[in-house]
Chains A and B, each alone.
Chain A
Amino acid sequence: MPKHELILLKNMMQLGYTGSLQDYERAGGYQALRKVVGKVPPADVTAMVMKSGLRGRGGAGFPTGVKWGFLPKGYQGPRYLCCNADESEPGTFKDRQLIERDPHQILEGIVLACYAIGAETAYIYIRGEFVLGARILEQAIAEARTAGYIGTNILGAGITANVWVHRGAGAYICGEETALLESLEGKRGLPRVKPPFPATHGLYNKPTVVNNIETLANLPHIVGRGPEWFASIGSPPKSTGTRVFCVSGHVNEPGNYEVPMGITFRELIYEHAGGMRSDKPLKAFIPGGASAPFLTANHLDVKLDFESVAAAGSMLGSGGVTVMEEGTDMVWAALRLMEFFYHESCGKCSPCREGSSWLVQTMRRIVAKRGRMEDLETLVDLCKNIEGRTVCAFGDASVAPIMSTLKHWRAEYVTLIQEAEAANLIKLEPAGRH
């Protein structure tokens, strides 16, 4: 029995809960929608979300109500809601569960968001690999449409909200909100230069809100149970509500755990995820997906909220917590993530494109014991030259693994290089004799 009250995972934790419309309604679903549509002015719904303190669950943690408030007031013409279900951040697998197990919770959130921001069309941009998720969503949309929760004249209130599932096709960068918009427009998923922001120039150049699936899933609860209730959960005032953390790596019980923000990593890892899988102690963990800098065993008592993790030198990001036990090769681990970033760099900005290829090659050399001491300086330099010089946050993210492992485990790099130099000496010596 979880010791915290579940919000998002509550329904699905019921044995036999299928996520069908019937199940969802029986569990109290679509009541929030009934409560507000046509009865509470949209601006009041936005105000509720603002008051709840809800912050985006996609990675950046931007306050959702504030984001909605950036939409141009009194703008005539279409606006769009784009639901970010691209979930590609290594270490993150919560949206997938929310989608596949309780799709209506998301749909209710989507329709509430549409109502609040005045969007008549929402696209769920789901990563291409989630074929099952896309099917489940489509089926749920069909159900909701028949029941009058989606479509034209929702609940007889004359409100329109059409929801479409749009599948991505294999590109991590399309999780970035503007790359997502480009991709949704049928183009290559290259992030756009900001400003202008999606709020004014988004999909098809129209005012647009992009929100993560988990963010949206919170809406029925905020609207249903009131913003004050939500704001009281977690670590107010800045980190309210629960979050679904995805624990992976060397733990006994990896998986998704919904906990209020503010508990410690120690609690998450040892009490929820069953502790370490072997007798080896924890060596390192990533607190918020591949883009978040690595933390060490010393950080276990850091609280799981936006500010505390930032203060510890990392970020809460997407909520993907990856645990590594003693004995894990940290240079290798950094290289694995660097390979991911190299593979996924869209190629738009020179520092990111060229830098990631350069970093990967250098890291590979070091791991293959062909490194040199100067490489370490070069690595740091390159990372610094990428950071803050790119169109989107991908560039900053891509250097996190190397920068943080170099910070905490520099000795491991040095050892590899020393071994390389020793091997070189041995190789050179016989050559020298002849």
Chain B
Amino acid sequence: MPNATTETVRLTIDGVSVSVPKGTLVIEAARRVGVMVPHFCYHPKLKPDANCRMCLVEVERMPKLQTSCSTIATEGMAVRTATTVVHNAHKSVLEFILANHPLDCPVCDQGGKCDLQDFSHQYTATSRFEETKRIFQKEYFSPLIETQMNRCVQCLRCVRYCDEVMDVKALAPVGRGTMTEIKSFGSHPLDCEFCGGCVQICPVGAIVSRLSMYEYRPWMLKRADTVCTFCGDGCQITVQTKGQELIEVNSAHGAGRNSGDLCARGFFGFRATSHPSRITHPLIRRNGMLVEATWEDVLEFVAEQTKRLKLAHGPQAFGGLISGRCTNEELYLFQKFMRLTIGTNNLDSSARYGHVNGVQAMRLVQGTHRWTVTFEDIVQADVLLLIGTNITEANPITGLKVKEAVKKHSATLLTIEAIQPAIGTISNISNLSQQHLCIAPSQFGAAVLGLLKAVVEGNHVDNTIKQRAPDYVSAVSHAVQQLAWDDLAVSTGVPHESFFQMAASLVGGRRVVVLAGQMLLRSQGGYGICLNLLDLLLLTGKLTAQGCGFAPLAEENNDQGAVEMGAVAALLPGARDLTDQDARAQIAHAWKEDLPVAAGATLTEMIDRAQAGIIKGLFVVGENPVGSLPPQTGVKEALGKLDLLVCQELFLTETAALAHVVLPAASAMEKAGTFTNTEGHVQAVRPAIDPLGDSRPDWEILSALSVFIGVPLEYGDAKEILKEIRAVIPGYGSLGPSPIPPAVNPMVVDQYVTDGYRRDLAGRYTLPARAVRQEGTVELGLVQSLFHSGKLSTYSKGLLQIESSGYLHMNPVDAARFGLTTGDRVRLSNSRGEFATTAKVLDRVPEGLAWFPDHFAQDALRLFDCVVDPDTKVPSFRTVSVSVMKTT
């Protein structure tokens, strides 16, 4: 915190003395002593607007009643909330608010959790209003959100939330006086981020979710607090259920890392897992067909085959792949299953698609596998650098932290992103940016080099590091001096002044956080760029400074957990090297068994080995390599050659369709465990409903398999596994509201600046290749959409209503160049193949680029090449050059 010694003031609330930080509102001070002043328009997340006038209180020495939501507590203030005058004032304001409110509580979804209802009850407010109530014309509002404007109390919380917190500004209070109503634009339906914030923040039932309209009364519902599975931000959600039915998702202000904020995926995507096409019974291949079977039969079959193959070909004939959506307990058990029951290190997880790049860079330079900063540090930062984050879409809640820093605390935001600062229906982070560089994804590396060069040439290198590691500093200085500004300008399209300006802003910050997103982490050379960003922090003296740090953003909800649990080939639990003898000894001791020695194969290596017939059996848990990797990798043929392909899955994916056995897995809504979010917070996952049909949590399946195979890994419940994890991983974070992030390890930094940096410095201080763009082509990029997450969300009816399929998003200039308008069919092709889709013109796409959402990209993948990072083995297939043709 910047002001750890926060000043306080002392005041009394109804005679009770309380001391609060300076600047606290009276309404909050009252809350501290347990006095809840009734209110509608006030919300702790929003700037006071004091429009409802409900929260009036008496303040000594002030002639009029004051609104406690907008009055700041001062030293010696005496506030009274319980006098007759105050009571009568509340009653009269309530009478006004009720005047135009319809009494349709029995059919209102808010009934039972409505502030207006509660206060009316409290004040036994009877209305003398006998005149005509206003009536609004009903209008279609949006596919997911419905308004009942007759109920609106005009507190404008929805409008203010949409602007102040989300920076979306999709809601408009229209008209004036009593006839003010909340609309979007003219008679157009609401078209926005669909974060559900307006639904959640409305104190009455004026804005409701259509997904659960009329389905329940609040008291019928059972609630479970758990964690959203749709991205790495790890939002806490409260899932409300009626029997086995998922009814609604909410988030509570003050709870979890999101503190009441969600995105469309979290708020509206919750029914993805209860989609009718869920696999609910074990399937086994008989005569080429997958048919239902009993658990006994399939487990027996898998065990038999495994034992047979292991006997014939040894444990190295196996591989395993697990999804970063699984719980920590499952990830841990999976690697233990592979390493112990099977006896191989051939195992990997979806963290390999990019997250590993960030983690390995942090491990090399600063000796941590987690961020050294937290969301709070982002909010408190005075300078934020975002690079390749696509943050609104990929990590919307981290995005909100950035917005909060900028909008509430006036942080300086610097962005290097592949977006144009256009205003659209989805907020655009570059609009909040003080300095934005619009850079093609393939040139993010060049932009970072530009920044480094500007730091060196602008004499911004920190003195401490100069003295401590002169060789390192001169090596980097030398490397950047080899780069010509002209070349940098050509690569990035940015003049050198911009880099100097950005470097100066960066250096000028006291609390500097650098966020790197999946666009960068998943791109070719992502690992090197991460290292360079760490160099940037090191050279400017920001790596170890309080509140500063590097924050690579995880795409999947438990990518971070996958790494920490050792569910990637070269890492053991605790993200320790497979070759780390101490770690091996410690784990072997805990497991009472030695660990396999042979280095493990990573994702693409396993596919190659399957292709070569070396790997014969593959265990796949929740992963879908056939659907996710470009066909060019030969993944489908490779898996086709396997003697045993076992898939634990929710749905019959492209990969599961090839399996010999498909085991029905329970979704995160149906099991207990923990997820670790992008900033390293381990949070509890709790079941909202029972597993559907015969499905079982993945850890139970793995455990059962191990028993059948004869090397049993038995646990009573997920908690028992967590206990073992805690024992195996030294200092493993405890569940809690705010675990302390790890600190930079100075010994590792020393090692890096004396020696570690040398190995590949030349390589990563070279400008990335510049493709000469051919006439009639664009660079096609796969991107994350705000409305989807992996392929899972494409099973959510709600989200499909917002985004039903993939469109090719194109800049208007490019679209005009190709004679395209929104809705036109278009064919993309290159030497690898072709692919037809529909175009959509979007201002925020930079010229020369075209975006296609990853979630619908199975067919588009055939155009992509896959490049594997030599160090981190991350397969990269983010962008490719394609020709564009309008078709009919």
Contact = CB atoms under 8 A, between A and B. Distances in A.
Direct contact of A and B (CB under 8 A): yes
Interface of A: 171, 188, 193, 342-351, 353-358, 361-362, 365, 378, 381, 385, 388-391
17 contacts: A193-B49, A193-B67, A343-B177, A347-B175, A347-B179, A348-B49, A349-B52, A350-B93, A350-B97, A353-B177, A353-B178, A357-B178, A358-B131, A381-B92, A385-B92, A388-B64, A388-B65
B65 A389 contact: yes
Interface string B50-88: 111110100000001101001000000000000000000
Contact of A351 (B48, B53, B134, B179): B53
Contacts of A390: 53
A373 to B, nearest CB: 13
Contacts of B65: 388-389
A361 B128 CA distance: 13
B485 interface: no
B67 A188 contact: no
B397 to A, nearest CB: 28
A425 B64 CA distance: 44
A354 B49 CA distance: 17
B24 to A, nearest CB: 16
B176 interface: yes
Nearest to A355: B96
A305 B93 CA distance: 35
Given A357-B177, A388-B65, A389-B89, A347 B154 contact: yes
A385 B54 CA distance: 12
A357 B128 CA distance: 14
**Most chain B beta-carbon contacts within 10 A, residue among A193, A353, A361:** A353
The CB with the most chain A CB atoms within 10 A, among B131, B153, B175, is that of B131
A348 B93 contact: no
Q: Which 6 A-B pairs have the closest CB atoms?
A: A361-B131, A385-B92, A354-B96, A347-B177, A347-B180, A357-B178
Interface residue SS majority, chain A: helix
A342 B51 contact: no
A385 B67 CA distance: 15
A389 B56 contact: yes
Given A343-B177, A350-B54, A353-B154, 7 more contacts: A347-B177, A349-B53, A353-B177, A353-B178, A385-B89, A389-B89, A389-B92
B305 interface: no
Contact of A350 (B96, B128, B175, B179): B96
B129 A358 contact: yes
A54 B653 CA distance: 81
B132 interface: yes
Q: Looking at B67, B96, B132, which has the most chain A CB atoms within 10 Å of its CB? A: B96
A191 to B, nearest CB: 10
B613 interface: no
Query: Which of B51, B89, B100, B154 has the most C-beta atoms of chain A within 10 angstroms of its own C-beta?
Result: B51
A348 B65 CA distance: 18
A351 B179 CA distance: 14
A193 B53 contact: no
Q: Which of B70, B128, B132 has the most CB of A within 10 A?
A: B128
Interface string B445-485: 00000000000000000000000000000000000000000
A357 B176 contact: no
A338 to B, nearest CB: 13
Contacts of A342: 177
A391 B66 CA distance: 10
B64 A350 contact: no
B100 A389 contact: no
A175 to B, nearest CB: 15
B99 A357 contact: yes
B131 A362 contact: yes
In this complex, the member of A193, A342, A362 whose beta carbon has the largest number of chain B beta carbons within 10 angstroms is: A193
A350 B93 CA distance: 7
A390 B89 CA distance: 12
Nearest to B97: A350
A119 B54 CA distance: 38
Contacts of B67: 193
A365 B129 CA distance: 13
Contacts of B52: 349-350
B87 to A, nearest CB: 13
A18 B97 CA distance: 53
Nearest to B50: A193
A188 B128 contact: no
A171 B131 CA distance: 26
A361 B56 CA distance: 27
Contacts of A346: 176-177
Nearest to A358: B99
Interface in B357-390: none
A110 B179 CA distance: 38
B754 to A, nearest CB: 47
Contacts of A355: 96
B176 A345 contact: yes
Given A193-B70, A347-B178, A385-B92, A354 B100 contact: yes
A347 B67 CA distance: 17
Nearest to A377: B128
A54 B782 CA distance: 68
